[in-house]
A and B are shown apart, each in its own frame.
Chain A
Amino acid sequence: MSLLLFIEQVLNGLQFGVMLFLMAAGLTLIFGVMGLINLAHGSLYMIGAFAAAAVSAATGSFLLGLAASLAAAAAAGALIEVVVIRRLYDKDHLDQVLATFALILIFSEGTRWVFGSFPLYLDVPSYLAGSVTLPGGIEYPLYRLAIIAIGLLVAAGLFALIAWTRIGIQIRAGESDREMIAVLGVNISALYTIVFALGAALAGFAGALIGAIQSVQVGMGEPVLILAFVVIVIGGIGSIKGALVGAILVGLTDTLGRTLLPVAFDTFMTASAANAVGSALASMSIYILMAVLLVFKPTGLFGSA
């Protein structure tokens, strides 16, 4: 394998990782602050993608589509928080898993009902289409590069929000002692709604950005959701830093595994066997990574016990 191809795959892995971070950040915030496992996070991702596709098809503007994805996912998130999720905070994990699994069923079928079973398409805007030549002569799609940049920007913004703003202080306080900050006069239920809507907006935004690369369809959220869970489990549930490290790790492992493993097995196997073994192992690689990590460090990289 040439170095150029390798660098290109590293960039692809980064792009994938950054997207996973947008999903995982919301999940891990929601878990850290409210102690809730939200399986319906993938549905919010899907809602963001559908909103972006519908609005940008109607207005012709990609940016309006992105704005719509943020708004729609945040609104859907706030709505389910107030109607359903709020009742789940003091229930056990089993109830949370089931109730949010039920929400997936409702959202998926609801979306199918409104938009039909055929996928929608979201076009990359003309100013981000085409590819750029990076130093070293690598041709790389501009849009994917933009995703990496936007993702890192959002990550930086999120860290700043948590570290320096009033709401960030409340979020961190909520993570360490829920009763205490309620006693100190913080409106805890409003805070919960805001955190949930924030996480939802990040998921919807990720859905819209990815929607321009893949097709926008019902069920697009669940594979990403499971990967995002892997990310936060690897990073340590509740830790934003862990989510970032985990996301990049998972993105790189998955992308590089798919290209490198078949090549690696090729050196001592027949080509077809190497391809079969390599691709089978590659598709399992991140789950193997997670299982191995959990066996040695049962609370993830940055998790507290």
Chain B
Amino acid sequence: MQRETLINIIVLALLVLFPLWAWQADEPFMITLATRAVILALAGVGLNLALGLGGMVSFGHAVFFGVGGYAMGILASHAQSYEPIFEWPFLFEGSKFMPLIWLVAILSSGLAALAIGALSLRTSGVYFIMITLAFGQMFFYFTISWPAYGGEDGLSVYVRNGFPGLNTLDPIQFYGICLAILAIVLFAMSRLARSSFGLALSAARQNEERVQAVGIGVFRLRLMAFTISGAITGLAGALFADLNRFVSPVMFSWQTSGEIMIFVILGGVGRLYGPVIGAVLFIVLEHELGGLSEYWHIYLGALLLGVVLFARGGLIGVLAGREVAHD
């Protein structure tokens, strides 16, 4: 446990220091890469709640990532065109105000997770994996064939959304926002994992019958965790869309679900900082191997295979040894 804490502190320090160095050295691209890593880490932290703590193998988290992204895209595009999104039952206009966009992204992706979870959690095992995948595909094909918001071409937003007092177009300031959000969510997660809710969720993963027997409703427990998990990934989606100033159906694709899962696994399932380390490693690999060879996915695949077959605890598991304490 101590070693894991040490690793977590080092990672957090790197996430603060590396972009500061890049800012000093005038390397805005490096800051953008770090921003990507931080946002993808946030998406992974969301999935980790369902996957690591709750044992729900969701192959459809791209849905929430995409819903968050489109929440930002739709709000911002309506703000650009000055057309209200709807006028009934109340007037709802587009917005370029980040906190409002985040709120809408969290609510809409949380709502999507609540609905999908309520249906999917009736199944378990392989069927759960497949039904979440099916919901992902449903949203993917829906956004492709629905012409109102760009359809297959996606939706561009010309100017990054604003945050009071900050210039969000400055890479380091936008990075600061993203890192702050990640830190807050990580702190909330560490509290949640130790709360009675988190402990019961973890217990339900290990032995469903016993948890049921002591009078805790496993379905409701899991549904709540799945909803929070989806909302966090949705927030990451909104930030990701803001980073690229572009949303497209690719955010909903099953490869996106697979990649979010990869972050969690590479870092270590169920570890607080697992998805953070996984996402950073993914970005580093993408950057380094991508420069080395056009076919870097071969190496990524080989690495992933190695982790699954030989290093079950992911990178944190290798560095910190078999943990005792996340359950």
Q: What residues of chain A have their CB less than 8 Å away from a CB belonging to chain B?
A: 31, 37, 84, 87-88, 91, 93-95, 97-99, 101-106, 108-110, 112-113, 222, 226, 229-230, 233, 237, 276, 279-280, 282-284, 287-288, 290-291, 294-295, 298-300
Besides A88-B309, A230-B134, A283-B141, 8 other CB < 8 A contacts? Answer: A37-B126, A94-B57, A94-B265, A95-B312, A102-B308, A108-B297, A233-B127, A291-B135
Q: Do B144 and A283 have beta carbons less than 8 Å apart?
A: yes
**A294→B126 contact, CB < 8 A:** no
Query: Cβ of B190 < 8 Å from any Cβ of A?
Result: no
Please measure, in the bound complex, the distance between the C-alpha atom of A300 and the C-alpha atom of B137, giving whole angstroms: 19
Is the beta-carbon distance between A102 and B133 smaller than 8 angstroms? no
Tell me, in angstroms, the Cα distance from A279 to B254 when the chains sit together: 21
Q: Is the interface of B mostly helix, strand, loop or mixed?
A: helix
B224 to chain A, nearest CB (A): 20
A93–B119 Cα distance when bound, in Å, is 20
Task: Give the Cβ gap from A53 to chain B, nearest Cβ, in Å.
Answer: 20
Distance in Å: Cβ of A224 to nearest Cβ of chain B: 12
Q: Quick check: A294 and B305 within 8 Å, CB to CB?
A: no
- In the complex, whether B258 has a CB less than 8 A from a CB of chain A is yes
Q: A87 contacts which chain B residues (CB < 8 A)?
A: 309
- How far is the CB of A98 from the nearest CB of chain B, in Å? 5
For A31, A91, A103, A290, the residue with the greatest tally of chain B CB atoms inside 10 Å of its CB is A290
Nearest Cβ in chain B — how far from A79, in angstroms?
A: 14
Partner of B301, one of A31, A105, A233: A105
Chain A residues with CB below 8 A from B137, complex form? 226, 287
**Residue pair A294, B122 in contact (C-beta under 8 Å):** yes
Partner of A226, one of B133, B302, B308: B133
Q: B interface vs A, CB < 8 Å?
A: 51, 57, 59, 119-120, 122-127, 129-131, 133-135, 137-138, 141-142, 144-147, 254, 258, 261-262, 265, 269, 295-298, 300-302, 304-305, 308-309, 312
- B301 and A287 contacting across the interface, CB-CB below 8 Å: no
Give Cα A226–Cα B141 distance, bound, in whole angstroms: 13
Q: B59 — which chain A residues lie within 8 A by C-beta? A: 97
A94, B298: Cβ atoms under 8 Å?
Answer: no
- Taken together as a complex, chains A and B put the C-alpha atoms of A226 and B140 apart, in Å, by 13
Which of B124, B295, B312 meets A113, CB within 8 Å? B295
When the two chains form their complex, are residues B305 and A99 in contact, meaning their CB atoms are under 8 A apart? yes
Contact A291–B122 (Cβ < 8 Å): no
Assembled-state Cα–Cα distance A294/B128 (Å): 9
Tell me if B135 and A280 are in contact (CB < 8 A).
no
Interchain nearest-CB distance for A27 vs B (Å): 11
